[in-house]
Structure 1
Amino acid sequence: MSSPVNLLALAAAVSTANAAFQGFNYGATFTNGALKVQSDFEAEFKTAASLEGTDGAFNSARLYTMVQGNTPNDPISAIPAAISTKTSLLLGLWASAGGDAFNNEIEALQKTIDQYCDKLDGLVAGISVGSEDLYRNSPTGIVNGENPGTNPDVLVDYIGRVRETIKGSCLSDAPIGHVDTWTAFANSSNNAVIEALDWLGMDAYAYFEDTVPNGIENGASLFKEALDKTKAAAGGREIWITETGWPVSGKDFGDAVASKENARKFWKDVGCPMFGSTNVWWYTLQDSAPDTPSPSFGVIGSELTTKPLYDLSCDGSGNSDTNTSKPSTKPTEPGSTAESTAESTAEPEPTTESKQVVTGPSESSAESPEAESSQHEAPASSPTLPTTPIVYPIPTHELPTTHEPVPIPTVSYGNSSVIITTRPTPTVSLPTTSGGAGSPSETTQGEQPDDSSGTDESGSAPTDPAAAGSRLNSFGAAAVAVILAAALL
């Protein structure tokens, strides 16, 4: 088995040799639950690579699962689509659906090696084992009604199995990582996972950090704070930015205002300084096909088009009218602190300090194949979940490092106030065997409980994902959970 130390060096070599990967996150379904097929992924990948203002730089795709929907363990059709369009891939194995489902992920990985190895040369950026499993396994994730996560020891085992699967194959040199929130990486209860990795994938959304002033004027500094905390926990491992972005529409969250102007500022302040030098997968190319979620993070709207909703150039040369508009802020009372900083929200040129900020990928689109692809519905026996992003708060205080298990609350977590997220009412009926969805609940502000471990008494995720709650906070993840559940039927 290749050692993590050797593969750490390889990960560094990959980034150096290939500059940096730039792309978007891609879910396995559309927002109405219809499964994507190869032609859908091809159209999306071509659109991303042709976005105005980007010089063709967004030619990488992050995936959440290896399994194509409605199959037990066939490789996801994004893989042949990537081969045909020369799109690089951050492969992903979904790790929060239990052992049987992960066996299918491993089988799909093996089939990918068997079927496509001679065509994947230079196209695999790396392999991610899981996505935000540690966050969902934490007391905060449980109290917030998350779908089940995965214990650190289980993830370590899964990572070892992936290494064994790729050993001696065309993917043997692919660096292996795990994607999670900075709060998960900063908690020493999860150190065993970090030690098994070659790189850490950080998901960070300043828009959701309403425990501190999170207006767009603070977006870059909040992102950098999350990045610094992740770096401090990484033990010298590379940090890849696997999800970040700012919504173009949706409700206010704390001081954060969703708008195209603010999305543009976040792109310029956070994304531009790192594009080309750090591996980033922005969230997201398109999240409103055919239905628009709230908030919506897509850089394009409901139709595949190479004209983005806001200027994606890093030198201000794009055609979007948002490149000269001031960022949006919430109305303030005269004389308030927020009013005094409003003028500072105009787009600044990147400074030396801001160039240390890393950001994530974005999505793209092409001439729309959606009419054709909408015929690819999930089977009636396994209705799909909407892929609407759901808010998750990120505490800003230091996390404790205790390894002791904590009891799972039924309503509240001890005497602490907790954060209950709001979930849109699903438009389809939900199966009891897939990632569950619940009724909407009002969001309340509070502190994260003082630990990040624990699920059920055995320390493992519930057998039925629906029993753990309503939301996968990795925004492409709801579709993955449903596909895996359907495959097991």
Structure 2
Amino acid sequence: MRFLSSVLLACTALLSSVEAQNGYKGFNYGAFFNNQQAKRRNDFAYEFNAAKQLPGTNGGFTSARLYTMIQWGTQNTVIEAIQAAIDTKTTLLLGMWCSSGQAAFDNEIAALKAAIKQYGKAFTDLVVGISVGSEDLYRITPTSIQNGGGPGAQPQELLHYIQQTRDAIRGTALQGKPIGHVDTWTAYVNGSNSAVISALDFLGVDAYPYFQTTMENSIGNANRTFYDALQATINVSQGKPVWVTETGWPVTGPTQNQAVASAENARVYWEDVACSLMAKNVNFYYYMLQEAQYGNPSPDFGIKGPGDLMQIPTRFDVRC
């Protein structure tokens, strides 16, 4: 049994090494369904396996980006996605939720420490990075506030959270894993946020031409609009790696300026943006495999619609 465990750990380490050379490819995974029901271990495992079995992708989507370390509905219990990732050999871009204040972030730290202690190397070998926050700087902008974006975090708050995360993993098997932050390109190019960039090992950028309504944002311009946003982030990154942590095009939803949601346009976006990122070996997390298992969200970015992931077809061809 001890020999078998050693072999499995070695295979996990090899998987992470190969992924790193080719660029991590995965999807974003929320902690709960849109009916507020918490995702459990089997739900996450089901989703992770479905991503690997997408037709035409050669099993390449083997990484998962999480938004929180905490199991939905609990105070600081470790999210069950961790065990699911171990079960399915899925690498992880961990998320630490930062837009709910210090007390809530203390619970994120507690869950992170508990995961290290509970799962050991079976967990830590799968971690490719830790994102401290998600669009917190964007959510404090007038644009987000006007659109009801919810609470965010000030730059100084994020700096404290980043340092607390570094302190939490010091002396553990996660020490040395890259620590980053995820935000919009508009937040990164804002000079008042430059100190946050200085504190990071990598920048995760969320870029959606569909939502850039002050620009010519038709699907015909989407490739240029996306890469302009990516380049703007690279220009202020202080030489640090930039990961694409969210992007996509909705298959259904309202028209946003010139941007029309449709399966046909989502296919064009996949081919023009997603496929090009994969060809460049950029670390890349698409939004998303399935927007909701229940109901009809709008807009809906899911490659697969509501229902059984293994049974329903993709809404567009995801081959490159």
Normalising by structure 2, what TM-score?
Answer: 0.91
* Larger strand percent: 2
The structure with the largest alpha-carbon Rg is 1
* Larger helix percent: 2
Question: Percent identity among equivalent residues?
Answer: 50
1:84 aligns with 2:87: yes
Counterpart residue number, 2:168: 165
Alignment equivalent of 1:177, drawn from 176, 180, 191: 180
1:295 aligns with 2:289: no
Alignment equivalent of 1:311, drawn from 301, 311, 317: 317
Cα distance in 2 for partners of 1:116, 1:226 equals 38
Q: Deviations over 1:397-434 (max 9, x none)?
A: xxxxxxxxxxxxxxxxxxxxxxxxxxxxxxxxxxxxxx
Cα distance in 2 for partners of 1:172, 1:304 equals 38
Name structure 2 gaps, 5 residues minimum: 1-15
Alignment equivalent of 1:220, drawn from 186, 199, 223: 223
Cα distance in 2 for partners of 1:231, 1:60 equals 23
Q: Alpha carbon RMSD of aligned pairs, Å?
A: 1.5
1:52 aligns with 2:58: no
Instruction: Considering Cα pairs closer than 8 Å and 6+ residues apart, tell me whether 1 or 2 has the greater RCO.
Output: 1
Deviation at 1:216, TM superposition (A): 0.5
Task: Give the match's secondary structure for 1:272.
Answer: helix
Cα distance in 1 for partners of 2:18, 2:212 equals 30
Length, aligned pairs only? 302
Normalising by structure 1, what TM-score?
Answer: 0.60
Task: Give the match's secondary structure for 1:114.
Answer: helix
Alignment equivalent of 1:283, drawn from 282, 287, 290: 287
Q: CA 1:252 to 1:66, structure 2 compared with 1: closer, same or farther past 3 Å? A: same
Q: Deviations over 1:377-414 (max 9, x none)?
A: xxxxxxxxxxxxxxxxxxxxxxxxxxxxxxxxxxxxxx
Q: Is the 1:15–1:279 contact (alpha carbons within 8 Å) kept by the matching residues of 2?
A: no
Cα distance in 2 for partners of 1:150, 1:15 equals 35
Name structure 1 gaps, 5 residues minimum: 1-12, 315-489
Deviation at 1:15, TM superposition (A): 8.8
Q: Is the 1:125–1:174 contact (alpha carbons within 8 Å) kept by the matching residues of 2?
A: yes
Task: Give the match's secondary structure for 2:93.
Answer: strand
Alignment equivalent of 2:213, drawn from 181, 187, 210: 210
Q: How does 1:36-51 map to 2 (within 5 A)?
A: 36-51=39-54
Counterpart residue number, 1:431: none
Q: How does 1:21-40 map to 2 (within 5 A)?
A: 21-40=24-43
Cα distance in 1 for partners of 2:178, 2:124 equals 14
2:234 is matched by which residue type in structure 1? K
Cα distance in 2 for partners of 1:169, 1:113 equals 8
1:293 is matched by which residue type in structure 2? P
Alignment equivalent of 2:261, drawn from 258, 264, 273: 258
Deviation at 1:300, TM superposition (A): 0.4
Counterpart residue number, 1:143: 146
Q: Which runs of 4+ in 1 moved over 3 A?
A: 13-18
Cα distance in 2 for partners of 1:246, 1:231 equals 22
Cα distance in 1 for partners of 2:52, 2:79 equals 20
Cα distance in 2 for partners of 1:196, 1:118 equals 26
Deviation at 1:304, TM superposition (A): 2.8
Q: Is the 1:47–1:304 contact (alpha carbons within 8 Å) kept by the matching residues of 2?
A: no
Cα distance in 1 for partners of 2:68, 2:27 equals 15
Task: Give the match's secondary structure for 1:89.
Answer: strand
Counterpart residue number, 1:3: none
